[in-house]
Amino acid sequence: MSLTSALNSALSGLGVTARRAETVSANIANAGTEGYARRSLSILPSVGMAGVRVAGTERQIDTAVLGELRLSTADSTGTALLARQMLRLEAAIGKAGASDSVAGAIDRLDRALLSAAANPGTDAALAEVSDAASSLARRFASASAGIQTIRAESDSRIAADVASLSSGLAEVAALDRQIALLRSGGQDASSVMDQRQARISALSAIVPLREVTRRDGATMLTTLAGTVLLDRNPPVLAFSPTPAFGADRTAPLSPLLLDGRPVPFTPDGPFSGGSLSASFDLRDRIATTLQTDLDRLAMQVESRLRLADTTLPAGLPGLLTDDGRVGDSSRLAGLSARLDLNAAVDFDAGGALWKVRSGLGATQPSPVGDGRHLLALRDALRDATGAAAGLSESLVQRRVAEEDRAAAAVARSASLSDLAARDGVNTDAELQDLLGIERAFAANAKVLQAVDNMLKTLLER
């Protein structure tokens, strides 16, 4: 080897060693940075001369594990949201057997009717029936309000998720352009690629995303069903929040628009999975179905109490009314929010307590010892008590199922996170690398020293 070759080899070795030291230092410094991918240098022989050169910087990442982690994150986020909201829906209806539940309010009316039937001449017992019926109507209304609150919050979450998804996709597109610009100028784009990776991972909690990297480094993002969300340019996502929610508003609400076309949110739809799908599911299916079930229960209670009152002419409301009217299946939507006590037995509204004992259609009080009408009302409530308990129990079962799904999804995400971390920065290994770099630096320095000594010897002659 000539002195020139030896000198070139040593100098290039020192240059590569300096770059390696810089890369290892950056790895160690960012060991705890989320989204940071470990760097390594691609080193090749120099072209046309002795020595080595840095061909580029490589990001060490397992794309398969990252892809599965993103899908798992979407699943865990969506199921956790559903589990939390199912717990709130359960609280809105109340647990079967709890005194503050809808079933508990029906049970209180049942006990009040039984007590009044045993003491039909006691105004206090009759007043308790009136108060228990009024309390039941209020409990139906509070349950309905709780359901509508969850629907409204879900609608707000949809708006926030759509805004985040839209801005996030635009940001990824901008990062793609920045990466292309850096690469065209021969610069390292690793830090920008880290930013892009972290942004896509964050968006995957909203919608499960699959990433396809093109030859030029640009990324294409699709949903699990294959709907393209980013290919050079992001789509136009639009959503109009619902201004107000009511128990009687069951018609389809504002959809998500993708480039002007409504997106169906079904279990096998293009956006299934993630927090966005869970919020649509809550707003349009789960909470709406529960509201309908609650309205049907309210109709059952209203109609049974009305039909049990043989003193009532046809067309007149019974102990409980639909805002003063007879309950009608054509007005089922929102009935639970409108249910109220018949003013004829509401003492505070000038009603007569004796009509609780005698019947709402009675023109004069029945004998004070006659409790037959009260027992007939109690018999009419029996099926409603079981139906209310069944509604509460079905909510518990659904909530437990969602919690189990959420726990399994979180465990899978944790396992995949641990697996992904194995490709991350291992500080012990990086420190060992630094020792090797130090030895390489010393070896190249010795070569330079030897060449210098040889040149001095030649010049002295």
pLDDT at 423: 65
The residues spanned by each domain of the chain are 3-61+425-460, 67-418
Tens of pLDDT, residues 159-195: 999 999 999 999 999 999 998 888 888 787 878 888 8
pLDDT at 1: 54
Tens of pLDDT, residues 36-68: 766 666 666 665 565 666 556 666 677 888 889
- Mean of the per-residue pLDDT values of the chain: 86
For 126, residues 6+ apart whose C-beta sits below 8 A from its C-beta are 116, 120, 353, 354, 356, 357
Dist. CA 126–CA 117, nearest whole Å: 9
Longest Cα separation, the chain:
141
Residue 345 reports pLDDT greater than 90? yes
Give phi and psi for 56, each to the nearest 5. 165, 175
User: What number of CA atoms fall less than 13 Å from residue 141's CA on the CB side?
Assistant: 15
Lookup: tokens for 121 = 């001449």
Q: How far is CA 60 from CA 190, 365, 437, in A?
A: 10, 88, 19
pLDDT at 383: 82
pLDDT at 78: 94
> Average pLDDT of 312-320?
93
Which ranges of 185-284 does DSSP label H, i.e. alpha helix?
190-203, 274-281
CB contact at 8 A, 30 and 427: no
Per DSSP, the three-state class of 269 is coil
> Average pLDDT of 392-409?
91
Rounded to 5°, the CA angle 230-415-194 comes to: 40
Which residue would you say has higher pLDDT here, 259 or 251?
259
Give the chain's count of helices (H) and strands (E). 11, 10
Tell me how crowded residue 362 is: count the other CB atoms within 10 A of its CB. Answer: 18
pLDDT at 456: 72
pTM comes to: 0.83
Per DSSP, the three-state class of 193 is helix
> Average pLDDT of 89-100?
90
71 residue type, one letter: L
Tens of pLDDT, residues 196-244: 988 999 999 999 999 998 877 789 999 988 899 999 889 999 999 988 8
> Average pLDDT of 446-454?
68
pLDDT at 334: 93
